[in-house]
Amino acid sequence: MLMLKRNKILISGKVTGIFFRKFIHNHALRLNLKGYVKNIGDKVEAVFEGSQENIQKIILLCKSGPPEARVENIEIKKEKVKNLKDFQILR
């Protein structure tokens, strides 16, 4: 039985208006993660549920982002798993 984990991350820097959410969405689907990604002001918030290994992989991807991004900071919080069913880009 796979142990599910949940992390919420907040990414700051040059991360809006450059397809950062789409970048995260595509990688989350590839890594079979559930959750969401959305802009909050000039930051990007994402929640990931899945294996610890795949969450670590996507956090590494978030630290670089798409080519136009300039990530300055990432805050990571552990949360209680809510058994989400899919991964969405929220507006």
Consecutive H or E run containing 25 = helix 20-30
Q: How far is CA 11 from the centre of its chain?
A: 9
Tokens for 50, please give them: 């899945």
Q: Which of 7, 39, 54, 91 is catalytic?
A: 39
Sole residue written with tokens 């590839």? 30
26 is catalytic: no
Q: Are 43 and 15 in contact (CB under 8 A)?
A: yes
Of 58, 57, 59, residue with least CA distance to 75: 59
Active site residues: 21, 39
